[in-house]
Amino acid sequence: MSYARIVKDGLWDNNVVFSQMLALCPTLAVTGSATNGLGMGLATTAVLLASNVLISAIRHLVSAEVRIPVYIVLIATLVTLVDMGLNAWAHELYKVLGLFIALIVVNCAILGRAESFASKSPVLESAADGLMMGVGFTAALVAIGGVREILGSGTLFANAHLLLGPHFAFLELTLIPDYRGYLLMILPPGGFLAVGFLLAGKRILDRRRAARAEPEAALPQPAAG
Partner 1 sequence: MKLEALRAKLSYQTVLLGSVTLLTSGALALASRTTEADIRAAHERDLQQSLAQVLPGKYDNDLLKDTVMIAGADGEVTVYRARRAGQVEAVVFQTVGHGYAGAITCIMGVTRDGQLLGVRVLSHKETPGLGDKIEPAKSRWIESFSGKSLGDPPVDQWAVKKDGGVFDQFSGATITPRGVVRAVKGGLELFAREKPRMLGEMKGAKT
99 binds partner 1 (CB under 8 A): yes
- Of the CA atoms within 13 Å of residue 198, those in its CB half-sphere come to 23
Task: Name every residue whose Cβ is closer than 8 Å to that of residue 125 and which is 6 or more positions away in sequence.
Answer: 1, 3, 6, 56, 117
**Of 28 and 48, which CB lies nearer to partner 1 in the complex structure?**
28
**Which 163-192 residues touch partner 1, going by CB under 8 A?**
181, 183, 186-187
CB 11 within 8 A of CB 136: yes
CB 143 within 8 A of CB 160: no
Residue from 24, 93, 162, 198 touching partner 1 (CB under 8 A): that is 162
Residue from 23, 30, 135, 156 touching partner 1 (CB under 8 A): that is 30
Mask: binding to partner 1, 46-75, rule CB under 8 A, as x and -? --------------xxxxxxx--xx--xx-
87 binds partner 1 (CB under 8 A): yes
**Of 29 and 198, which CB lies nearer to partner 1 in the complex structure?**
29
221 binds partner 1 (CB under 8 A): no
Chain-centroid distance, C-alpha 97: 15
Residue from 25, 57, 77, 204 touching partner 1 (CB under 8 A): that is 77
Strand partners, 173: 156
Smallest distance, partner 1 to C-beta of residue 181, A:
6
Task: Name every residue whose Cβ is closer than 8 Å to that of residue 104 and which is 6 or more positions away in sequence.
Answer: 26, 43, 44, 47, 79, 82, 110
Q: Which amino acid makes up residue 134? A: G
Smallest distance, partner 1 to C-beta of residue 156, A:
13
Strand partners, 156: 173
Between CA 101 and CA 122 the distance in angstroms is 27
DSSP SS3 for 182:
coil
Smallest distance, partner 1 to C-beta of residue 109, A:
20
**Residues near partner 1, by CB under 8 A:** 30, 32-33, 36, 60-66, 69-70, 73-74, 76-77, 80-81, 84-85, 87-89, 91, 99, 149, 159, 162, 181, 183, 186-187
